[in-house]
Chains A and B, each alone.
Chain A
């Protein structure tokens, strides 16, 4: 039994370890109140900046309200600018179900958008009937300094669609997780002007080590509480199960079907 649990837990851990890892390069604070805007013209978009090398993912949040048997066809495009005839990458997706919170994750080849340049994310929706509705999460205040919300390719100054930009990691999986964690901490440390970015590596390494020691100690405290004889494989199974459960509980965004991944070609 313990062996089965250990193997199942290892499969879950391997799933997480081998997930593609991205590093956020632009995101809005969780404190900002997100509102919903309905696409009435069928075309919505947002100009944004590619802040550096390796941009490969943009996340959006949508709501669909689809009539029975209905559908909403959305074309996602990356363009140099609003009104431009050429396209960096695009893909068409058909939504056939009503859902409050689609977490759409647009994936594309790194540097399909030139680094350091502004570009335009355009969405064009065709609805099967007048009772279908498509909403985007957006922000009613101008929080993003490098672009704006567009409707029918016309700028709406002072508003932004909600989005999140990510770049790829440079290290292979599963070490890419460490790179992603470090990149965020280092960025935060720079923003906080602590002047100790490199030194942050030591407490971070010790922090993770102490978390592992809590896991080991916690497993043995749990084993002590068991009245049955406990074998080494049981202890291993408890430890692996706790790691797997932690990953499922605390990284829900990485679970299958947590987001709709769309590859732009």
Chain B
């Protein structure tokens, strides 16, 4: 370690990682709290009005809201149709929000929305904390490779937005991040009993949230099979423990869905209701579009990329163009690094048994969700938004870090330069909040 110990930097040197991690999580949480305070009620982010309406209904009725179909022509003239109705999408975070409103709500919409937003804000430090614990296990030998990705997560505006308004996205992200953490932990611990139970609990919680987090299920299954392929007895035991806890925690929701709607996931019920409302747009696939034509005409990739980092026309979150260029450059570089590693591995003609499983699992999680998101946009509902990928933001960031680290040996003194970007990211985020986001709340138009 470089610092001379006699001048008092010794303590900070030893605890610099902990200090940065704690400060980043505190910064992100306070940031989300400030966003939740200054953004107008109902217009805090996509669909806030609908999510809040459901919570209010829960307070009023004391039970889960019931789906009664859509009003006539509800989707007529719109570019999008609902994929799964809000009432049919599991969202356990609505329960603490409803309890909070029941105990402290004033009946005034503005106050109640700000109150309900606190539940989403509270999920941010949990998500980031779990992300850091995962990164520690993924990159045990490099401080930078676990702190830098956390800084990206803590300062991405769209990610902050999702934890600052009433939505079912941030609970799904938190649950999914818990799932990824539990999976990595279990894999590293060779699926011990305690880790298997934790994984079962985490997956059970994922099952009680929005379906965008469900990519973890097939990947967790494959990971268990891969890790325990040589001991079938243990494989069965671990699979049994995990399944038992998943079902114990989440089965009731799907049984209820079958009893009430005859449809465990609510997709068929929603699509029938959308069609019955009349005038709803027909999915692109049914219209005979090829996947390529769909991609080019809707600018699916560009729009998803833009809204992955920040930017949602209706609620004014655009990032400066230079930032998008920088992020595009980083993403392309990260992908190139991953490709280079893959090519290197193939050239060395390694055996499949030599596969580094966790990065493979991270790739399956992120690219799997990306593919599912594309397919559902094409075949069911043209929902253009990068936030749907955030349940796998942690795997994305881990992959980006691995990809970028490929080039580290080519650059002199990479470490200090990369470390210096952490405060710069926070400074940029702070400038964005103070000089773009907040003024836009009060701006004309």
Contact = CB atoms under 8 A, between A and B. Distances in A.
Interface residues of A, number: 62
Interface string A138-180: 0101011100000000000000000000000000000000000
A27 interface: yes
A217 B34 contact: no
Which of A189, A215, A218, A227 has the most chain B CB within a 10 Å cutoff? A218
B431 A28 contact: no
SS class, residues of chain A in contact with chain B? helix
B17 A221 contact: yes
Nearest to B109: A193
Which of A28, A181, A222, A226 has the most chain B CB within a 10 Å cutoff? A222
Which of B16, B147, B415 has the most chain A CB within a 10 Å cutoff? B16
A7 interface: no
A142 to B, nearest CB: 10
B334 interface: no
A103 B67 CA distance: 53
A31 B9 contact: no
Contact of B34 (A27, A32, A191, A200): A200
A24 interface: yes
B33 A192 contact: no
Contact of B110 (A141, A193, A215, A246): A193
Contacts of B20: 213-214, 217-218, 221
B16 A224 contact: yes
Nearest to A206: B30
A192 B416 contact: no
Contacts of B4: 229-231
A146 B26 CA distance: 42
A225 B419 contact: yes
Interface in A123-146: 139, 141, 143-145
A147 to B, nearest CB: 11
A218 B34 CA distance: 23
Contact of B2 (A203, A204, A218, A226): A226
A29 B445 contact: yes
Contacts of B40: 191-193
A221 B147 contact: yes
A262 interface: no
Contact of A207 (B2, B19, B27, B432): B27
Nearest to A146: B444
Contact of A195 (B12, B114, B422, B438): B114
A24 B439 CA distance: 8
A194 B443 CA distance: 17
B41 A192 contact: yes
A127 B213 CA distance: 62
A188 B31 contact: no
Given A222-B416, A230-B2, A31 B316 contact: yes
A189 B443 contact: no
B119 to A, nearest CB: 16
Contacts of B439: 24, 27, 184, 188
B442 A220 contact: no
21 contacts: A27-B443, A30-B440, A31-B445, A184-B439, A188-B39, A192-B40, A192-B441, A193-B114, A204-B34, A211-B23, A214-B422, A215-B423, A220-B9, A224-B143, A225-B416, A225-B419, A229-B3, A238-B420, A242-B427, A249-B427, A249-B428
